[in-house]
Amino acid sequence: MIRKNELDVLTIKELEKKYPFILSFFENNKLDITGYEDCTFEDYLNHFTPEYVEEWAIDIEKMKIDLKVYINQMIEFLGLKNDKVDSLTIIAGKDKYGNKENFEKLIIYKSQIISIVGPTGSGKSRLLADIEWAANKDTPTERTILVNEEIQDKSLRFSISNRLVAQLSQNMNFVMDLTVKEFLQLHAESRMIDNEEEIVKKIIDAANELAGEKFNLDTPITGLSGGQSRALMIADTAILSTSPIVLIDEIENAGIDRKRALNLLVNEEKIVLMATHDPNLALMADKRIVIQNGGIYKIIETDQEEKEILKELEKMDQLIQSFRSQLRKGEKLKNF
């Protein structure tokens, strides 16, 4: 997304270098910028005489807004990653009883994992939805979500192709009649990736590291199991998607290597938030948000004592996974 003050401070030449497609905007609006390349767009618009403005019905303020909207729409359409997302900020709203949430603001930085915990129906999914739509006091919780300490432009907030956030739900089903390779190639082409073959191989290799049962590029995507589908989408999101923020709703029953999945996302500098009931996943996070009565009740940082507990939980989890593998192979379970 174009930065808040870019149109005010960048010259037309600088804007053209950063966003080459703006030349089409000038042509479509019959704006001759020749000789004004070193001016800002506002200075260029202000050079028109009042008589010219009136004769051609030029609305200067609307023209500035239109250019900003055009740039943002083209960035979305082309899937360009022109902005780095370094931080996501949640500013307190209220719970379902109207009480102010029990914190002021939480700043989350890239490569951080935040878990969201609380009873079923407590409001975990509502928090994920607020983040997905970059809420600006216009949802039931009245929270505000900032990206890089800025409120998001409406043209991106309500876009059906918003690439700021990728959301992974527990139940994922493909309906397209494509192989895994064709699906990944299609996505890579839409992103205008140069090293398509290399990226496709990287994604399938990463997906097979996560999946309980391996699959290949010729597998029809409609034939993937739930765990394989989730593994493919996590690898695709981590490696190919431009979305810098990943929201995960209950990954625990997805049939994948959860720790590797989270590490893959973090290594690609994503901000990861996940709603979970699994203590292993909750403690893998840098911090966890506790939800009660539809509001954020507290924020807990994972300390060294909890990290030691996590080690014991992982040992228990490995034992359970071992028993599960033996059952699948038709083996008889034995005590250790």
Report the C-alpha gap between 114 and 287 in whole angstroms.
5
130, 238, 190, 247 alpha-carbon torsion, rounded to 10°: -10
> By CB neighbour count within 10 A (0-12 exposed, 13-18 middle, 19+ buried), where does 160 fall?
exposed
Q: List, for residues 226-245, the tens digit of each pLDDT value.
A: 888 888 888 888 888 778 89
pLDDT at residue 217 in the model: 92
Domain ranges of the chain: 6-78, 87-302
* Contact call for residues 239 and 268 (beta carbons, < 8 A): yes
Longest dimension (CA), the chain: 91
pLDDT at residue 157 in the model: 66
* Contact call for residues 164 and 72 (beta carbons, < 8 A): no
* Contact call for residues 325 and 152 (beta carbons, < 8 A): no
Show the beta-strand stretches assigned E in the chain: 87-91, 105-109, 113-117, 144-147, 150-151, 165-168, 245-249, 271-275, 287-292, 295-301
Report the C-alpha gap between 14 and 245 in whole angstroms.
28
Give the strand order in the sheet containing 295-301.
Answer: 165-168, 245-249, 271-275, 113-117, 287-292, 295-301
Q: List, for residues 275-306, the tens digit of each pLDDT value.
A: 999 898 899 999 999 999 999 999 999 999 99
* Contact call for residues 123 and 297 (beta carbons, < 8 A): no
For every residue of 178-240, which 3-state class applies, written as one string?
CEHHHHHHHHHHHCCCCCHHHHHHHHHHHHHHHECCCCCCCCEHHHCCHHHHHHHHHHHHHHC
Report the C-alpha gap between 160 and 146 in whole angstroms.
19
pTM above 0.75, yes or no: no
CATH 3.30.1360.200: does it fit domain 87-302? no
Dihedral of CA 222/228/233/238: which sign? negative
pLDDT at residue 82 in the model: 46
Q: How many CB atoms sit inside 10 A of residue 183's CB?
A: 20
Cα 195 from chain centroid? Answer: 23
> By CB neighbour count within 10 A (0-12 exposed, 13-18 middle, 19+ buried), where does 44 fall?
buried
Spell out, as residue ranges, where the chain has pLDDT lower than 70: 1-4, 76-83, 155-163, 169-175, 192, 251-255, 336
pLDDT at residue 243 in the model: 81
Q: List, for residues 76-120, the tens digit of each pLDDT value.
A: 666 555 457 889 999 999 999 999 999 999 999 988 999 999 999
Give the strand order in the sheet containing 87-91.
Answer: 105-109, 87-91, 144-147, 150-151
According to DSSP, residue 92 is labeled: -
pLDDT at residue 268 in the model: 77
Distances (CA, A) of 5 to 10, 41, 42: 8, 12, 12
Q: Which of 173, 175, 162 is nearest to 75 (CA)?
A: 162
